[in-house]
Amino acid sequence: MTEARASRSERAGNDSAEGPASDDRHPLFIPLVLVGGLLFGFGLGFSHMARPEVVLDFLQFEDLGLLFVMFGGSALVGVTYFLAPRLFDRAPLTGDAFERRLKSFDRNVLIGGAIFGVGWGLSGICPGAAYASLGVGNVTILWAIAGMFAGAYLQGYWRR
């Protein structure tokens, strides 16, 4: 599987990456997504990555612990991506093949990444951590969530 192939399926609007439509889903599809979200959010709370101050401390080299969140998470997921297609034929709830998450490379990855970097460095928030921050009681994060939606809307307006 090459990244070029991934980019072709993406251009063709590959639905499998998005999951099945709501009318032909396995009854456990939504409950499983909820369980995954719960673990994801609990982990962001536990690691304190849901606290913008902790992210800013990391970016200022005052506490590098956050490296272990990304390494720990991606290492486990890396093992999963490696083993799942070798141990199982297809995903039980969708019938989809186990594919890696590969996106085509172009200059947008650099431009968008740099814009995201400015936002992350200025505020200490990223999307998943912002939702989790709301869960730990951080109502002030609604400013960031409002900003993210406004930003996502603006890029959709410019790029349509």
Q: Does 134 bind other proteins (CB under 8 A)?
A: yes
Contacts of 147 by beta carbon, 8 Å cutoff, 6+ apart: 123
Which CB sits closer to other proteins, 8 or 140? 140
Give least dist CB 98 to other proteins, A.
Answer: 5
| Residue among 5, 8, 48, 86 that touches other proteins (CB under 8 A) | 48
Instruction: Name the DSSP class of 15.
Output: S
Helix, coil or strand: residue 97: strand
**DSSP characters over 37-57:** HHHHHHHHHHTTTTSHHHHHH
Site string (4-43) toward other proteins, x via CB under 8 A: ---------x-xxxxxxxx-----xxx-xxxxxxxxxxxx
Structure tokens at 107: 């200059």
Give least dist CB 9 to other proteins, A.
Answer: 13
Q: Using CB under 8 A, which residues numbered 103 to 132 contact other proteins? A: 103-105, 108-132
Nearest CA to 39 out of 76, 11, 94 is that of 76
Give least dist CB 103 to other proteins, A.
Answer: 5
How far CA 41 is from CA of 6, 48, 137, 146, in Å, comes to 29, 11, 13, 19
Which CB sits closer to other proteins, 8 or 113? 113
Give least dist CB 80 to other proteins, A.
Answer: 4
Q: What is the distance between the alpha carbons of residues 39 and 77, in angstroms, rounded to a whole number?
A: 14
Give least dist CB 8 to other proteins, A.
Answer: 14
Structure tokens at 84: 């799942």
Q: Using CB under 8 A, which residues numbered 50 to 89 contact other proteins? A: 50-54, 56-57, 59-78, 80-81, 84, 88
Helix, coil or strand: residue 160: coil
